[in-house]
Structure 1
Amino acid sequence: MQLRELILDNNELRDASEFRFNAQLTTLSLNKNRFDNLDYLVSCIEQCYPSLTFLSLLGNPACPDQISNPDKDDEDDYQR
């Protein structure tokens, strides 16, 4: 049996280098952790989970939103 969904919300995770390869994983939820480098996180996820179709990163410092961080201006994010 292969793991297809992994929910790691609220675990204070911050180091994506510890992710292990799983070709079957399709759903990954990392909400409310401490990931602060989005480029590095996405790179690790791409390498470890090639079949991923759903990813949630809400509530991480790397992915602030207007609700959790009302002082952040989203305009810069959309121009990337």
Structure 2
Amino acid sequence: MCGFGFGYGAWWPWMIIRMGLGIAVVVGLCIWTAKIMRNNSYNRNDALQTLDLKFVNGEISEDEYIQKKKVIRGK
């Protein structure tokens, strides 16, 4: 006997609900991760633009520029 005496129809709605919740969690985590990565790339680009402006305006030396650019890029 299948379904612990409840027949075949008692278990499948719960399985669909659990699968749906699992898929929703995975999709939510993917969206959240993409937002974080996008924000980090915007921040990095803003920092590089600011650094470029400081170098062009003569506020920092070429050595400082190269060193800080490596730090911002994470290399």
Instruction: Provide the TM-score with structure 2 as the length reference.
Output: 0.28
Higher helix share: 2
Instruction: Provide the TM-score with structure 1 as the length reference.
Output: 0.26
Higher strand share: 1
Structure showing greater Rg: 2
